Amino acid sequence: MTEMEQGTGNKEQGAKAAGFRQLLAWQSADDLASAVFDLTEKALDARHRWLGHQIVRAAFSVTSNIAEGYGRSSLGDYARFLELAGASLNEVENGLHFMRRNDVVPKDRLAALEEVRWKTGNLLFGLTRSLRAKLKSKGEWQRGLLKEEATFEYGSGAGDSDSLFQVPSSMFPDSEA
């Protein structure tokens, strides 16, 4: 059995995370959701609250879909929920872009969020790719991101104009678990 990679250790997790909270992708998404919430609570004025609510819901949806997928009984369901998490992450990316483009929030406040969003996308895409490979090979699976799966990097860094999840559909063949 392969040893699980050590997580980032979110403050709320205590000494040892269990279940979906041990996933690096979930931990990073949780950091992103908290940072988005903090930014929207402190930096948005009343006329931009609608945007803050939308981005917070999208960021929370990333963590929720990772958690729900983790609890599913088949790899196919798990992978589909990770793809939904990726779609929600794209929505966060779009909201951050809108904020930057329209000077809703100072650009320096957005830079840190964009870094966390990028990291979350890399981890989430790597986990999704790993599950899809296991589906294709009909191999065994363990719930979580393994050390050898954590090194995958998609995209060239924060500030990319391209979405993290614009990948050829051939990478994710339709398959049932």
Residue 88 domain flag: yes
pLDDT tens sequence across 113-122: 999 999 999 9
Kindly state whether residue 84 falls inside one of the protein's structural domains: yes
Q: How confident is the model at residue 147 (pLDDT cuts 50, 70, 90)?
A: very low
| Residue 6: per-residue pLDDT | 34
pLDDT-above-90 percentage for the chain: 53
Tell whether 46 is covered by a domain: yes
- The answer to whether position 39 is within a domain reads yes
Mean pLDDT of 20-24: 93
pLDDT level of residue 174 (50, 70, 90 thresholds): very low
30 pLDDT more than 60: yes
Structural domain boundaries enclosing 125: 20-152
**Average pLDDT score over the chain:** 77
Per-residue pLDDT, 45: 85
> Residue 30 domain-assigned?
yes
Tokens (6 digits) for 50: 């609608």
40: burial class by Cβ within 10 Å (0-12, 13-18, 19+)? buried
**Is position 11 within any domain?**
no
Q: Based on the number of CB atoms within 10 Å of its own CB, is 20 exposed (0-12), middle (13-18) or buried (19 or more)?
A: buried
Q: Is residue 29 part of a domain?
A: yes
Please tell me the predicted confidence (pLDDT) of residue 44. Answer: 85
Q: Residue 38 belongs to a domain with what CATH number?
A: 1.20.1440.60
What is the count of structural domains for the chain?
1
Q: Establish if 98 belongs to a structural domain.
A: yes
3-state secondary structure 6-21: CCCCCHHHCCCCCHHH
